[in-house]
Amino acid sequence: MSKTYWMIVTTQENLDITRERGFNLQGIDTKNRKKAIRMEPEDRVVYYVSDKKGFAASATVTSNSFEDGERIWKHHNDRELFPHRVNIGPDVVLAESDYIDAYQVGPTMEYVKKWPPHLWPYAFYGMLHIIPQRDFNFVEAELMRANKRVDGRFSDLGQKNAVELVIVECIDPQTEQSKFRKRPKLSSKKQKSSHRRRSHKKK
């Protein structure tokens, strides 16, 4: 059978939990049981973070669907355990600062054409979606552009080498003494990158 391409809609909190586990397991909520049991090895997954409005990662399913009641992820309903699960392996995982802006990418996806243009975000409601291969390839290509290539494949978990730290000298305005602090330094490649990034707003 041909592989299926999935979009998982999650929160930053739950993505962080998946990240901390090494992107080796993904749970699906009870409402999406019928879809979840169709997931199988070699299927591909792209992650959309709803509270950040950005695409964050892609992964490959490495097992058939199974059920497990261990509480791992968070949900406003304490009864929801995301029991329908598959093992996965990470392909591209971005640091939060590099997420792909869904407002730039989303409206161009074939999957959202079912909705009026101004209502395209409605396509992202619910946790699990089957999307066209073209959409998956397009989003993953954007993820790759935002990531660095490591040993010929894009596999950085976004935890290492996200930024290069440099030491800069500054003056403490209270003591008028020189001291040092660290700040991130972007590579020239990152500074010139034309990939679509999520815009950051000060809170």
pLDDT in tens, 137-191: 999 999 999 986 433 444 444 443 333 333 334 444 444 444 444 444 444 444 4
Task: Write down the domain spans for the chain.
Answer: 5-146
pLDDT in tens, 144-157: 999 864 334 444 44
Phi, psi of 163 (to 5 degrees): -140, 155
User: For a pLDDT cut of 70, what percent of the chain falls above it?
Assistant: 72
CATH number of 5-146: 3.10.590.10
Residue 40: per-residue pLDDT: 97
Name beta bridge partners: 185. 164
SS3 of the chain: helix, strand, coil, percent, to 5: 30, 30, 40
Output the pTM of the full model: 0.73
How far is 184 from 164, CA to CA, in rounded Å? 6
Q: What is the DSSP letter of 191?
A: H
How far is 10 from 126, CA to CA, in rounded Å? 9
72 vs 197: which has the higher pLDDT: 72
Q: Of 41, 47, 37, 39, whose CA–CA distance to 16 is shortest?
A: 47
